[in-house]
Amino acid sequence: MKASLRSLLAIYLLLSSYFFINVINFDYNVGEFLIQNNKSVQVTQSIFNGLPQYTPYSRSVIKAYNERLFPRNCDNYNYFADKLFEINNRNPQTHYFRAACKEISGDLPGAIVQMYQAHSYEKANPEYLLALSILYFNSNDYNASKKYFLKSKMINPNNKDLKILEELLGTKIDLQK
Amino acid sequence: MIYGLIPIMYLAINPMLNDSSTIIRALIVSSVPPLYLIFKNVTFKEYRVESLFLSTILFLYLIYWSLFQNQSYADFLFGAYGRGNGFLPLVGLYLLIIISAECFLRDNELFFRYTYAILSLSIIYGIFQAFGLDMFKYSGSNTGIRLTLGNANFASALLGIVSAIPLGKFFDNKSKNKPLHLVMYFLTLILIFQTDSSQGFVLWILTGLLFIYFRLVKSGRINFRKLLIINSSFLISLISILLVFKDSPRILNVWNSFQVEARYEHWLTGLRIWKDHAFFGVGIDNLNKYTGQYMSQNWSAELGGASVPDKSHNTVIDHFANGGTLVGILWVGIIVLISWYAIKIQINKKTSLENWKIQALGCMWFTYLLQTFISTDQILITFLGFLAAGGVIGVYHREYSKK
């Protein structure tokens, strides 16, 4: 085999080894966080500033969000939305965070646009349907709220938040019709 | 020498990682083949058609990613969804095909010995897992044993594919322990049942059938054309019966246990994505970005809405959707070529290899191929399938085409 091909393979080998060292280091921290439940700053920082690898990164962000490891304010929402968008420009979580930021800023129409974008990437995700229903409810558009509420309920009837919304929506519109 | 990787790959798990069953294996397949080629002489000339197909696939993936696709470098190089189906493992796996082609005639004994070794290891480890004595947590909370693959379907498929070795040994005229090999073949079936997955069962049956066919062809009692006509008629009749009686509870039961509808939905989703990205595809191992949008609403709702597949459960469709039409055609071309070789070498009367080895090799290739039509690729299974593919290519070029 030619020397030039051997040199090319040697460079390839060096680069891929360096890359895999990073992958293993990153994945070890993700395991610490997701499986071992180690929520230390060192671990979370190394993940959120680590490799742009979509699945482990987004799962870690979702866990951090669900467990309120970061304050739910626009700065954080936008930071993670941008990070996730960098890794995957069709990531629904990006739009979910942007919608959350717009909602707490009082921009409900803007929030609906963002949430609708998240919904367009995962059309049957009951969380996004429920969020759309809540946003429409808060915008006093009860017919639209009912439409997304019923879709969400059909897919995941056990969601606890549905019950609260059902009671509120029931005072505004007939849900049986 | 390269076949020494078989047991290493089987054992290469690291429970300390989040992705315990893929990363170390991806590292091995990405680094050992180039390392081997740096120190050993391999002549690509003999395999120029295959090398051209494979290198063009890699080149197109690389060009499309750099010019047209918005995918992070880590997802492109390693894969985004914990399967290690990114560019680097693919380069290593394609190199392995050529290396295996070069080594097979010389080192085939090692290939079969090590593959048999992982089957034996699987049986021992599988018994531990079946009794809930697994030392690794990832297989503890789920039904069905998972061996070292982290997934019951893959464990089942692996067993189905490697079942060709004990069956081959049973048919080996020089073999001293024929009953023992037959016991191993049936132990494999029992272990497949322990996985609670039907994939391996289908592959195990296919292994048995292929062995019979290959032996009949070799003995000259029947030719491949007749076999093809008989099997096609049988398959068409079977599918027709299943479709006509699809509403009967028994047929529904078969339908459900083989998850026919779910597989069909996976395929359809992949095809819809390809249709809209026919030129350049969506990027290597990048299907998940699009499946949420392209899967049918009913199926998505059935899965709970938040579950979005990252593969179409058919690697041909995956290649078409990931890399576009040209990559898909090249992939179809290479698998047709290898399958053609695998059939041709069965009828070669003068070969330096024992018949059972040629037959087992053919079985491993075809069962691996079937697995890739009905399920996703798993790096260890792909590794074994590609080693078998390399073996087929090597035997064909060295022993058949030169005659």
Predicted local confidence at residue B174, as pLDDT: 83
B108's CB contacts (< 8 A; 6+ apart) are B353, B357, B391
CA distance B147 to B162: 14
- Confidence tier at B187 by pLDDT (50, 70, 90): very high
Of B40 and B319, which is predicted with more confidence? B319
Contact A88 B73 (CB under 8 A): no
- Confidence tier at B139 by pLDDT (50, 70, 90): very low
- Answer whether A8 touches B (CB < 8 Å): no
| Residue A1 to chain B, least CA–CA distance (Å) | 6
Query: Closest-CA residue in chain A for B79?
Result: A53
Longest dimension (CA), chain A: 79
Is B30 within 8 Å of B92 (Cβ atoms)?
Answer: yes
Cα–Cα separations (whole angstroms), residue B22 to A8, B134, B319: 26, 19, 20
> B interface mutation test: which of A54, A93, A121 has the most B CBs within 10 A?
A54
Select from B17, B71, B292 the Cβ nearest to the Cβ of A122: B292
Contact B72 A122 (CB under 8 A): no
The amino acid sitting at B306 is: A
- Phi/psi zone of residue A71: left (φ > 0), alpha (ψ -120 to 50 degrees), beta? beta
Determine the 3-state secondary structure of B77 from DSSP.
helix
| Helical H segments across B195-284, by residue range | 199-219, 224-244, 249-257, 260-276
Contact A13 B38 (CB under 8 A): yes
Report pLDDT digits (tens) over B83-120.
Answer: 888 999 999 999 999 999 999 999 999 999 999 999 99
Is B105 within 8 Å of B399 (Cβ atoms)?
Answer: yes
Contact B305 A129 (CB under 8 A): yes
In the numeric block, which tokens belong to residue A145?
A: 């709220």
| Average pLDDT of the residues in A9-13 | 93
In the numeric block, which tokens belong to residue B15?
A: 């429970």
State ipTM: 0.90
Q: Which residues on chain A are in Cβ contact (under 8 Å) with B141? A: none
DSSP annotation string for B335-391: HHHHHHHHHHGGG-SS-SS-HHHHHHHHHHHHHHHHHHHHS---HHHHHHHHHHHHH
> A interface mutation test: which of B13, B14, B17 has the most A CBs within 10 A?
B17
In the numeric block, which tokens belong to residue B259?
A: 């998850």
Count of CB contacts below 8 A, A vs B? 128
Contact B75 A87 (CB under 8 A): yes
Q: Which residues on chain A are in Cβ contact (under 8 Å) with B306? A: 122, 125-127
Is B41 within 8 Å of A51 (Cβ atoms)?
Answer: no
Q: Which residues on chain B are in Cβ contact (under 8 Å) with A17? A: 31
Please enumerate residues of B whose Cβ is less than 8 A from a Cβ of A.
16-20, 23-24, 26-27, 30-31, 34-35, 37-38, 41-44, 70-75, 77-78, 80-82, 88, 91, 288-290, 292-293, 297, 300-301, 303-306, 308
Residue B52 DSSP class: H
Contact B297 A20 (CB under 8 A): no
User: Mind spelling out the 3-state secondary structure of chain A?
Assistant: CCHHHHHHHHHHHHHHHHHHHHHHHHHHHHHHHHCCCCCCHHHHHHHHCCCCCHHHHHHHHHHHHHCCCCCCCHHHHHHHHHHHHHHCCCCHHHHHHHHHHHHHCCCHHHHHHHHHHHHHHCCCCHHHHHHHHHHHHHCCCHHHHHHHHHHHHHHCCCCHHHHHHHHHHHCCCCCCC
Select from A5, A10, A123 the Cβ nearest to the Cβ of B292: A123
CA distance B31 to B50: 21
In the numeric block, which tokens belong to residue B266?
A: 């996976």
Residue with tokens 């076999």: B227
Query: Closest-CA residue in chain B for A126?
Result: B305
Report pLDDT digits (tens) over B373-384.
Answer: 999 989 999 999
| Residue B65 to chain A, least CA–CA distance (Å) | 14
Is B37 within 8 Å of A9 (Cβ atoms)?
Answer: yes
Q: Which residues on chain B are in Cβ contact (under 8 Å) with A148? A: none
Select from A27, A51, A87 the Cβ nearest to the Cβ of B17: A27
In the numeric block, which tokens belong to residue B373?
A: 């039509």
Q: Which residues on chain A are in Cβ contact (under 8 Å) with B307? A: none
Query: Closest-CA residue in chain A for B292?
Result: A122
| Residue B304 to chain A, least CA–CA distance (Å) | 6
The mean predicted confidence, pLDDT, of chain B is 90
Q: What is the number of H-type helices and E-type strands within chain B?
A: 17, 0
Lowest-confidence pick of B137-141, B291-295, B388-392:
B137-141
| Average pLDDT of the residues in A104-124 | 93
Of B134 and A68, which is predicted with more confidence? A68
Predicted local confidence at residue B108, as pLDDT: 93
Contact B293 A120 (CB under 8 A): yes
Residue positions counted in chain A:
177
Whether the per-residue pLDDT at A166 is higher than 80: the answer is yes
In the numeric block, which tokens belong to residue B160?
A: 């189905």
Report pLDDT digits (tens) over B44-82.
Answer: 888 999 999 999 999 999 999 999 888 899 999 998 887
Is B59 within 8 Å of B106 (Cβ atoms)?
Answer: no
Contact B297 A123 (CB under 8 A): yes
| Residue B18 to chain A, least CA–CA distance (Å) | 4
In the numeric block, which tokens belong to residue B73?
A: 């470098």
Residue positions counted in chain B:
403
Q: What share of chain B is helix, strand, coil (3-state, %, to 5)?
A: 75, 0, 25
B298's CB contacts (< 8 A; 6+ apart) are none
Report pLDDT digits (tens) over B234-243.
Answer: 889 988 887 8
Select from A31, A53, A126 the Cβ nearest to the Cβ of B74: A53
Is A41 within 8 Å of A51 (Cβ atoms)?
Answer: no
| Average pLDDT of the residues in B24-28 | 95
Is B152 within 8 Å of B198 (Cβ atoms)?
Answer: no
Predicted local confidence at residue B114, as pLDDT: 97
